[in-house]
């Protein structure tokens, strides 16, 4: 369960950084939803200035340390690297990790001090990547930011969901402390909707950013599902983050149902934790899986088995109620069979929070999926003063998308409150920075619904 990629040594980081072409208008910058100026930070490493490199990264993306570990760099910055056409791309993720770990390990604070207080108060609901990304930029612009978080620990899925072999929760919690050091107040154990109403928020704050993520795992709705041995993959993954590894309950024959990244993470971690057999069953064909191909390859490399076109129809139980297996029907041939297992993990998707959102803000516009409709450039919702971003608005993407959407909303909130345009904190005008004018005039719910 150690992190899969070893960190770069000083010598390795120096050597890797010197291979970068430092492209003008570099495609790696445009590929990053937070617009990190990759050539500049790599040049700084090449010059022996790791702290300066960290400043470039963290100013654009306060979660730069976790993104260096969890981002699908193969399809983002490294996938866009011009060297990848002929040779290997620059190892941007590992260099980013090198620089951010350098300052964290030494306790070096590299960010600029926040601007003079503006007197405006902003509430953020949810302390996941979207909420933290929004909070950091608003606080550095001088606004008083309070994040309300229902869990005991902040960080969202970055702290409780991302595979343990990609990142330890400590990295996420260090980032939470970094956000707090900008003056952001994080109130944990506060469940908005129960402990505070929308009316409380609207009357006490000048703007609200909703970043509540998605709901808990969906259910299969087949006979035998409720009972011993069956649990959500998210609960299993959460145990890995919160319990000593030897205490996590793990079967000998583990079956995971699902075809996305959560399913892949669950089956890989079950095998790494000691399951004798770990199998993933997906109802469609392999090329229809939403999991990234490199994650599937990683699971196979740890001896995980995969079966496709397997539609579950019943959870089969022994006479005493114990879990015996799952009956499947093959989607093409119609053949039925029972796949034995003593632990079944469900990873068939997190439901949207539409019911909760409607109860909180009855007139908030949601799209057909149950996501908050937002202006893609600003995160504005259909309600005055209310912005949204991250999984609850995009339907479930990656950590870096959530941070990018938080940043966009921060710029738009700053403009709404002060009438001023903040200087960009990152290089990517297409992704990381919203043009504030768009917030006032370009509201387009049709475009938003499909983003
Ligand atoms: C198992 C799993 C593995 C993943 N692995 C990766 C990966 O390797 N790489 C990657 O880039 N992405 C990964 N993701 C996706 C990534 O974690 C999410 O896209 C990202 O965390 C979304 O951030 P968010 O802030 O929108 O939501 P979240 O991270 O879900 O944070 C939302 C926060 O809001 C809080 N909240 C909810 N309701 C309330 C309320 N009523 N009051 C107060 N607080 C509330 C929650 O407790 C939570 O802390 C993974 C997701 C899962 C499920």
- In angstroms, what CA-CA distances link 449 with 134, 206, 252, 376, 439? 21, 26, 44, 9, 16
Mean pLDDT computed over 215-221:
86
213 lines ligand 1 (CB under 6 A): yes
Q: Is 103 a residue whose pLDDT tops 80? A: yes
Helix (H) or strand (E) holding 409: helix 399-418
Mean pLDDT computed over 301-305:
95
Q: Is 430 a residue whose pLDDT tops 60? A: no
Same domain, 440 and 372: yes
What angle (nearest 5°) sits at the alpha carbon of residue 135, between those of residues 132 and 138?
150
Mean pLDDT computed over 209-227:
92
Our count of domains for the chain comes to 3
Q: How far is the CA of 449 from the centre of ligand 1 (A)?
A: 21
Residue pair 347/255 in contact (Cβ under 8 Å)? The answer is no
Q: Which two tokens stand for residue 334?
A: 């119609």
Residue pair 381/210 in contact (Cβ under 8 Å)? The answer is yes
Same domain, 126 and 77: no
Q: pTM value? A: 0.91
Secondary structure letter of residue 373 according to DSSP = P
Please give the distance of CA 384 from its chain centroid, rounded to a whole number.
27
Same domain, 60 and 139: no
| 331 in any annotated domain | yes
- In angstroms, what CA-CA distances link 126 with 45, 177, 343, 367? 34, 16, 32, 21
Same domain, 241 and 337: yes
Q: Is 451 a residue whose pLDDT tops 60? A: no
Residue 317 has what pLDDT?
97
Q: Whose CA is nearest to atom 21 of ligand 1?
A: 157
Residue 52 has what pLDDT?
97
pLDDT above 70: percentage of residues in the chain: 94
Q: Whose CA is nearest to atom 35 of ligand 1?
A: 126
Contacts of 83 (CB under 8 A, 6+ apart): 19, 21, 89, 90
Q: Of the candidates 64, 82, 106, which is a domain's last residue?
A: 106
Query: pLDDT of 41-84, one tens digit each?
Result: 999 999 999 999 999 999 999 999 999 999 999 999 999 999 99
Q: Is 445 a residue whose pLDDT tops 60? A: no
What angle (nearest 5°) sits at the alpha carbon of residue 154, between those of residues 93 and 186?
120
304 lines ligand 1 (CB under 6 A): no
Residue 115 has what pLDDT?
96
Residue 427 has what pLDDT?
60
Give the integer Cα–Cα distance in Å for 176 and 186: 9
Give the integer Cα–Cα distance in Å for 426 and 422: 11
Residue 443 has what pLDDT?
24
| 360 in any annotated domain | yes
Same domain, 314 and 355: no
Q: Is 447 a residue whose pLDDT tops 50? A: no
How much is the mean pLDDT over the chain?
A: 92
Q: Which among 31-45, 206-220, 236-250, 428-442 has the top mean pLDDT?
A: 31-45
Same domain, 99 and 155: no
Q: Is 180 a residue whose pLDDT tops 90? A: yes
Q: Is 218 a residue whose pLDDT tops 90? A: no
Q: Whose CA is nearest to atom 45 of ligand 1?
A: 126
269 lines ligand 1 (CB under 6 A): no
| 115 in any annotated domain | no
253, β-bridge pairs: 277
CATH of the domain at 15: 1.10.1060.10
Mean pLDDT computed over 330-354:
96
Q: Indicate the top mutation candidate among 73, 162, 374 to test ligand 1's pocket, ranked by most ligand atoms within 8 A of CB.
A: 162
Residue 444 has what pLDDT?
26
Q: How far is the CA of 213 from the centre of ligand 1 (A)?
A: 5
Q: Of the candidates 106, 134, 153, which is a domain's last residue?
A: 106
390 lines ligand 1 (CB under 6 A): yes
What angle (nearest 5°) sits at the alpha carbon of residue 209, between those of residues 203 and 214?
125
Mean pLDDT computed over 252-270:
95
Confidence band for 217, pLDDT divided at 50, 70 and 90: confident
Mean pLDDT computed over 101-125:
96
Same domain, 176 and 247: no
Same domain, 332 and 397: no
Q: Is 393 a residue whose pLDDT tops 60? A: yes
352 lines ligand 1 (CB under 6 A): no
Same domain, 316 and 418: no
Q: Indicate the top mutation candidate among 212, 237, 267 to test ligand 1's pocket, ranked by most ligand atoms within 8 A of CB.
A: 212
Residue 446 has what pLDDT?
25
Any idea which residue has 């302390």 for tokens? 127
Residue pair 92/82 in contact (Cβ under 8 Å)? The answer is no
Same domain, 278 and 340: yes
Any idea which residue has 């995009």 for tokens? 394
Same domain, 342 and 355: no
Residue 4 has what pLDDT?
75
| 92 in any annotated domain | yes
Q: Is 294 a residue whose pLDDT tops 60? A: yes
Q: How far is the CA of 149 from the centre of ligand 1 (A)?
A: 12
Residue 429 has what pLDDT?
44
| 177 in any annotated domain | yes
153 lines ligand 1 (CB under 6 A): no
Any idea which residue has 């996501």 for tokens? 371
Q: How far is the CA of 345 from the centre of ligand 1 (A)?
A: 19
Confidence band for 116, pLDDT divided at 50, 70 and 90: very high
CATH of the domain at 238: 3.50.50.60
Residue pair 64/36 in contact (Cβ under 8 Å)? The answer is yes
| 184 in any annotated domain | yes
| 99 in any annotated domain | yes
Could you please report the per-residue DSSP string of 6-58?
Answer: PPPPHHHHHHHHTT----TT-HHHHHSTT---HHHHHHHHHTT-HHHHHHHHH
Same domain, 264 and 188: no
Q: How far is the CA of 324 from the centre of ligand 1 (A)?
A: 33
Identify the three-state secondary structure at position 415. helix
Confidence band for 440, pLDDT divided at 50, 70 and 90: very low
Q: Is 85 a residue whose pLDDT tops 50? A: yes
Q: Which two tokens stand for residue 450?
A: 């499909």
| 125 in any annotated domain | yes
Give the integer Cα–Cα distance in Å for 147 and 107: 24
Residue pair 132/62 in contact (Cβ under 8 Å)? The answer is yes
For residue 258, the enclosing domain spans: 230-346
Identify the three-state secondary structure at position 207. strand
Q: Whose CA is nearest to atom 26 of ligand 1?
A: 390
pLDDT above 90: percentage of residues in the chain: 87
Q: Is 424 a residue whose pLDDT tops 80? A: no
Q: How buried is 332 (Cβ within 10 angstroms: 0-12 exposed, 13-18 middle, 19+ buried)?
A: exposed
- Which segment of 53-57, 181-185, 208-212, 439-443 scores lowest on mean pLDDT? 439-443
């Amino acid at each position: 369960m150690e992190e899969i990629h070893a960190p770069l040594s000083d010598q390795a980081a120096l050597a890797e950084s010197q291979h970068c072409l430092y492209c003008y208008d570099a495609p790696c910058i445009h590929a990053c939803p937070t617009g990190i100026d990759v050539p500049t930070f790599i040049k700084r490493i090449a010059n022996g200035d790791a702290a300066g490199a960290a400043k470039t990264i963290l100013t654009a993306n306060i979660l730069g340390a976790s993104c260096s570990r969890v981002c699908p760099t193969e399809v983002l910055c490294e996938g866009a690297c011009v060297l990848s056409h002929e040779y290997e791309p620059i190892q941007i993720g590992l260099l980013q990790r090198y620089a951010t770990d350098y300052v964290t390990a030494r306790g070096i604070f590299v960010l600029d001090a926040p601007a003079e207080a503006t007197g405006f108060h902003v509430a953020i609901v949810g302390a996941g990547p979207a909420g933290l990304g929004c909070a950091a930029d608003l606080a550095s612009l001088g606004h008083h930011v309070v994040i309300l978080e229902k869990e005991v620990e902040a960080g969202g899925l970055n702290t409780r969901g991302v595979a343990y072999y990609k990142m330890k929760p400590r990295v996420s919690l260090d980032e939470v402390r970094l956000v707090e050091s900008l003056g952001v107040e994080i109130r944990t154990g506060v469940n908005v909707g129960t402990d505070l109403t929308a009316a409380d928020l609207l009357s006490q704050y000048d703007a609200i950013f909703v970043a509540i993520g998605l709901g808990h795992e969906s259910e299969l709705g087949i006979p035998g599902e409720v009972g011993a041995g069956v649990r959500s993959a998210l609960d299993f993954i959460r145990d890995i983050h919160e319990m000593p590894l030897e205490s996590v309950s793990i079967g000998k024959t583990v079956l995971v149902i699902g075809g996305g990244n959560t399913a892949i993470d669950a089956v890989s971690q079950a095998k790494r934790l000691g399951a004798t057999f770990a199998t993933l069953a997906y109802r469609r064909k392999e090329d229809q899986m939403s999991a990234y191909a490199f994650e599937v390859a990683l699971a196979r490399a740890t001896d995980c088995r995969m079966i496709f076109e397997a539609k579950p129809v019943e959870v089969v139980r022994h006479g005493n109620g114990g879990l015996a297996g799952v009956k499947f029907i093959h989607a093409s041939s119609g053949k039925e069979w029972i796949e034995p297992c003593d632990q079944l993990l469900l990873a068939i998707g997190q439901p949207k929070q539409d019911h909760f959102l409607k109860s909180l803000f009855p007139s908030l516009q949601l799209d057909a999926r149950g996501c908050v409709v937002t202006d893609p450039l600003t995160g504005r919702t259909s309600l005055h003063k209310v912005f949204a971003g991250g999984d609850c608005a995009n339907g479930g993407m990656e950590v870096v998308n959530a941070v990018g959407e938080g940043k966009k909303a921060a710029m738009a909130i700053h403009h709404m409150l002060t009438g001023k345009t903040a200087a960009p904190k990152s290089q990517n005008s297409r992704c990381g920075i919203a043009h504030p004018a768009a917030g006032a005039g370009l509201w387009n719910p049709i475009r938003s619904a499909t983003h």
